[in-house]
Amino acid sequence: MPSNMNALLIAWAISLIIVVGGTVYLQLSYDNTAHTEDEITAENSLEASPDLKADKSSDDHSDGGETTNNTPHDITDPATEDQPISTANNNADVQSQPPAPEEPGTPSSINSIDVSLLEETRAGKLPIIAADGRQPSLFYASPVKADEQLPRIAIIITDIGRRSRQTQRAFDTLPPNVTIAFSPYGTNLDKWSNIARQKGHESLLMIPMESTNSAQNDAGPLALLAANNSRQNLNLLRSSLARTQGYVGVINHMGSRFTALSDALNPILKEFENRGLLFVDSRATQFSRAASMSRALNIPTAISNSYIDDQPNQSSISTELNKLEGRARTLGAAVGIIHAYPISINAITEWASGLEARGYQLVPISQVVDRQPLSR
């Protein structure tokens, strides 16, 4: 009897161990399976939703419209969550030596931001001549060499940075030797400026100036005004200059009134000289004194010969481009200005593809300075 009892107890204990062990095994198996499925679900969600990704370098291609507010330092794009890239904190985008010149026509990136070419001011970071004499007009110039035998044509595309979609289209489509002119009213300018240099585009900064009919042609809150004293205009100028970095020079935006006034122009041009910038006179008026005064100060100077797309249709653009070629053939160098219209971007891209075969070359703006005669 005791022996039967012991056998029964042993059998009961073994059964208990089997039941408990099986339960634990099943529980552990379920937990491991559930954990794996949760991980897969999370990974799939991360791939499916761009908002969950931690890629902060992605570009927003939405069209944010034009910035027309009266707060020039507000650089938040209403159409994008991208924030401007701080060049001061971008160590990978800082260099001190220019690259060696390349063969004619070879695309190449342009120098990254060099902090020794920047001055910290109340307005922000401003371009300046480095202690060793290096100037932004040369340091941020394209290393591509021009062919000395061919007439030179520079194309400047203006108002870059004001519309995200048009800006991206310009960078995706235009040849590297097209010069980019950034609007101080644009958004994400540091980001776009970095992209411009990486793609080999020289860049300018547009400086708004008062027009003769300011009621209809308002140059915005940063415009230099004839009624201001020189200190007021210099403060406005520096606010524009601080909007981004890495440009070779400046171009006047509007200014049919301001560029005809020597007294108003003089301190502004001296500021360009002291900061090592080149200057492009957009010729907003035939009475502009800007180019002649700039040359007198030994500022590297270029002059616009044509607003190519004042009539934004294919026929008119083609006519203006033909005229520009004629000026380049006669004078050795010519400059044309276009807007960031899709029809203009497409027209310039197509025109440039056959330019060399016609005996001309497309060059950055730095390779046209001081090669044009002053208008009489």
Which pLDDT value is given to residue 5? 56
Both tokens of 254, joined, read 């509007």
To the question of pTM greater than 0.85 for the whole model, the response is no
Which pLDDT value is given to residue 69? 34
Which pLDDT value is given to residue 112? 95
CA distances from 315 to 226, 240, 305, 339, 346 (A): 38, 35, 19, 16, 13
**Mind listing the pLDDT tens digit of every residue in the chain (376 residues)?**
455 555 555 665 565 555 445 444 433 333 333 333 333 333 333 233 332 232 322 222 222 333 333 333 333 333 333 333 233 333 334 443 444 444 444 457 899 999 999 999 999 999 999 999 999 999 999 999 999 999 999 999 999 999 999 999 999 999 999 999 999 999 999 999 999 999 999 999 999 999 999 888 899 999 999 999 999 999 999 999 999 999 999 999 999 999 999 999 999 999 999 999 999 999 999 999 999 999 999 999 999 999 999 999 999 999 999 999 999 999 999 999 999 999 999 999 999 999 999 999 999 999 999 999 997 6
**Terminal CA-to-CA distance of the chain, rounded, Å?**
132
